[in-house]
Amino acid sequence: MSRHKPLVFSGVQPTGNLHLGNYLGAIRNFVRLQQSYSCLYCVVDMHAITIWQEPQELRNATREVASAFIAAGVDPKAHIIFNQSQVAAHAELAWIFNCVARIGWLNRMTQFKDKAGSNREKASVGLYAYPNLMAADILAYRATHVPIGEDQTQHLELARDIAQKFNTDFGVPDFFPQPEALLQPEGARIMSLKDGTKKMSKSDPSDLSRINLNDDADAIAKKIRKARTDPEPLPATGKELESRPEARNLVGIYAALSDTAAGEVLQEFAGSEFSRFKGRLTDLCVAKLGPIGAEMKRLMADPAYVEGVLADGAARAHAIAAPIMTEVYDVVGFIRAR
Ligand code: AQP
């Protein structure tokens, strides 16, 4: 990993059912960033357990996310792929940040409100403190750039506030950098195939709502065929899609997968019935996701290799974080063996 390029950190939770939204909204971008940045891509298993995970499924999902990174084209030798719990700096720095962040700051986090729902009293303390761990994930490496979806901008703002408060409280200006968001372009948010107003999500109980990265061609075809649409043919302009969320979503998926703008897709399909468009979308999805799904399957059949990648990545991640943590402990006033 080149130390001369700016450092990117990003993570995906091993919570099962990796889907097209995770690919187009995150993993595909991870692959592209390898050119210009040194990248740490983390399977954030400690974040996953803020909501109950079956231990055996967690192990499996951890290998699956790592396999998806590799299958999509992340180079685990030139960059770093690892799972969060193998590098102690995440938990150690998160504790210090628990003591830097203010309760009022966390109370404003909308994702906690969404995820805890009406059962706030029963949510885990970890779910509440999740943004502090995310700040630690980034700052343990002094990462400067963080590719995130729009839903994570509030958490990244918090990481910046924590970095600044730490620097100010301990009188160490510039100790932690202010990490910057690498936001995805508009249209990178993929919605449920069953409801164009809800994001495609791992936790949606309906498997028909999402295209999983390990779906085979038949499953992809079935899900696109059954995807909700409206009776109108495809329009000629994006403006006419504004009040048609399902149509807009399918056009957005086609545009993202073919690396074009939605406007160009509409130029090609204006006036077409959905049945024709869905057929072409299926072909495109199968062509783009098929090879990734097949490679994931091959990697999942070799857990020793995938765990080897994670262990090697963790050792290299630790080597970056450990000297930073030594400085952190010194700044905070903790006595350590010399
Ligand atoms: N529908 C989506 N469209 C675009 N990007 C998406 N991401 C998730 N869903 C979409 C992006 O995928 C990355 C990894 O997400 P995560 O696993 O860390 O957490 P998440 O955002 O909570 O993912 P899910 O699939 O929606 O899981 P659940 O159902 O558990 O909440 C992130 O960069 C995210 O933006």
The pLDDT of residue 147 is above 70: yes
Q: How confident is the model at residue 48 (pLDDT cuts 50, 70, 90)?
A: very high
Rounded to two decimals, the pTM is 0.95
Among candidate residues 5, 165, 194, 202, the one labeled active-site is 202
**CA distance linking residue 139 with residue 164, whole number of Å:** 11
Q: For the chain, give the mean pLDDT.
A: 95
Structure confidence at residue 323 (pLDDT): 97
Ligand 1 nearest atom to the CA of residue 203, by list position:
29
Q: Are 194 and 208 in contact (CB under 8 A)?
A: yes
- Check pLDDT > 70 for residue 186: no
Q: Pick 317 or 189 by higher pLDDT.
A: 317
Is residue 273 within 8 A of residue 45, CB to CB? The reply is: no
Least Cα distance to 211 among 183, 201, 116, 241 occurs for: 201
Average pLDDT value for residue range 164-168: 98
Ligand 1 pocket check for 14: Cβ under 6 Å = no
pLDDT at 3: 65
The set of residues, in sequence order, having a beta carbon less than 8 Å from that of 137 and lying 6+ positions away, is 9, 11, 42, 44, 84, 90
Say if residue 183's pLDDT is above 90.
no
Of 3, 49, 83, nearest to 308 by C-alpha is 83
pLDDT at 151: 82
Instruction: Report how far ligand 1's centroid is from the alpha carbon of 334 (Å).
Output: 37
Q: How far is the CA of 288 from the centre of ligand 1 (A)?
A: 19
Predicted local confidence at residue 184, as pLDDT: 78
Q: What is the pLDDT of residues 227-249, one digit of tens each?
A: 999 999 999 998 999 999 999 99
What would the pLDDT profile of 196-216 be if each residue is shown by its tens digit?
Answer: 999 999 989 999 999 999 999
Q: Answer yes or no: is the C-beta of 193 below 6 A from any ligand 1 atom.
A: no
Distance CA 252, CA 281 (A): 11
As a whole number of angstroms, the distance between CA 199 and CA 204 comes to: 9
